[in-house]
Amino acid sequence: MSYITIPSWIQRLGGLFFMLLGGGFWVWGWYTAIYKGYYYLKTSMLFPAVFILGLGLLMFPGYKKEEERIAGSEDISVLSRIKLLPPRWRVILVVALIAGFGNYLIMSIVFS
């Protein structure tokens, strides 16, 4: 099994793309809610989370823990799902979910 590392500048570029995409649609969601009087449920939850995940990828490119695990000959094949994520990415994932759900709650309270 070979492991190919993606350069950190490419990962940061991807993070910037997702951050701009998520932020743009997040602003668009608020724009439609304020000026047009409606909002989309899925976009109100999805794009704040995409923004946070993009910001996380911009700040923390790469999976240093996994690279260190593989270099140290640790068997990560027994790990699955959330156990594969480093602790910092678990925190980023939780913050992203909270941001998405919080944005939905705020929009549903303000614009109902």
Between the alpha carbon of residue 64 and those of residues 43, 94, 101, the distances in Å are 31, 20, 29
Q: Return the structure tokens found at 111.
A: 């614009």
Burial readout 14-36 (b: 16 or more C-beta within 10 A, e: otherwise): ebeebbeebbebbeebbebbeee
**Among 3-17, 59-73, 76-90, the least confident range:** 59-73
Say which DSSP state 78 is in: T
Pick the more confident residue, 105 or 78: 105
How many Å apart are CA 81 and CA 39, to the nearest integer?
Answer: 32
Pick the more confident residue, 8 or 67: 8
The verdict on pTM exceeding 0.85 is: no
What does the pLDDT look like over 39-71, one tens digit per residue?
Answer: 998 999 999 999 999 999 999 876 655 666 566
Mean pLDDT of the region 84-88: 77
Annotated domain spans of the chain: 16-110
